[in-house]
Amino acid sequence: MFESKEEVKKPVVSPEMADQEFERWLEYRMVSDVEKEEHATLISLAIESISKGYLIINEDNTITHKLREPFENESPIYEFTYRSRLNDFDKQRSMKGVNAKDQNESFNALISALCDQPKGVIKKLHTADKRIASAIAVFFA
């Protein structure tokens, strides 16, 4: 779905196992069947990302996202870990300085709160990594 020409990553986890893992996580998040239907494309992306090793669902229901395009600067970032739960206080804190009417900025703030990374880092994510992050964040919106 999102391979570059230079890299076609072989499955690390079978698609069936990846589907089971993400379904278990969705059940933990208490995602309704209606929400699953609404976000079927993002669910497929998450399952593919698990299969290819970019996403790992941990035993505590946090999710590790191995960045396809890591930040290799003076403070390298190779992965994010998304929380399993997010409360209103954390959401509000990340929304400081964000125009709530700007959907993209609001979503960046949500991703920032989920992985405890500055909003500036989220804004600089490679498109493929942003799509993967969005596939997780949509279930916290």
Asked if pLDDT for residue 135 goes beyond 90, the answer is: yes
SS3 of residue 133 by DSSP: helix
pLDDT tens readout for residues 62-92: 999 999 999 988 789 999 999 999 998 888 8
User: What is the residue extent of each domain of the chain?
Assistant: 15-88+126-140
pLDDT in tens, 56-66: 999 999 999 99
Task: For the full predicted model, state whether its pTM sits above 0.85.
Answer: yes
Alpha-carbon distance of 113 to 138, in angstroms, equals 13
pLDDT bucket at 9, cuts 50 / 70 / 90: low
